[in-house]
Amino acid sequence: MFAGNPAEAIQKFPANVNIAVALAWATRGLSTAMSDANLLGAALERVRVVLQAAAGQAQSAHRIRAAGSAGEFAFDIRSTPSPENPATSGLTALSVTRTLRHVIAG
């Protein structure tokens, strides 16, 4: 369906790129010479994303591959839709809840 970087994917598939944008943010690096916005902009150009559609697929799937000077890693995530909102993963609500609990607890 699509292959490119998250910046391009945002324009064409804004509801389907949250993982790709989160990965770009997580890999933006640190710099005293560049702002977070500039670092993220560079990461949005560097990260590659491929969106595929699979007829009859009941779960969403994410295959993440990364490589750099520290090494390489790969993992796959499959999640079922939220019963309350089938347009999102059931894991999303759990992740948001955990983050809010952590923030509130201090």
**Which residue in 55, 56, 62 sits closest to 19, CA to CA?**
62
Where are the extended beta strands (E) located within the chain? 2-4, 49-51, 60-68, 71-79
31, 52, 57, 62: the catalytic one is 62
Q: For residues 60 and 43, give the distance between their C-alpha atoms in angstroms, rounded to a whole number.
A: 24
Verify whether residue 102 is a known catalytic residue.
Answer: no
Residues known to be catalytic: 62
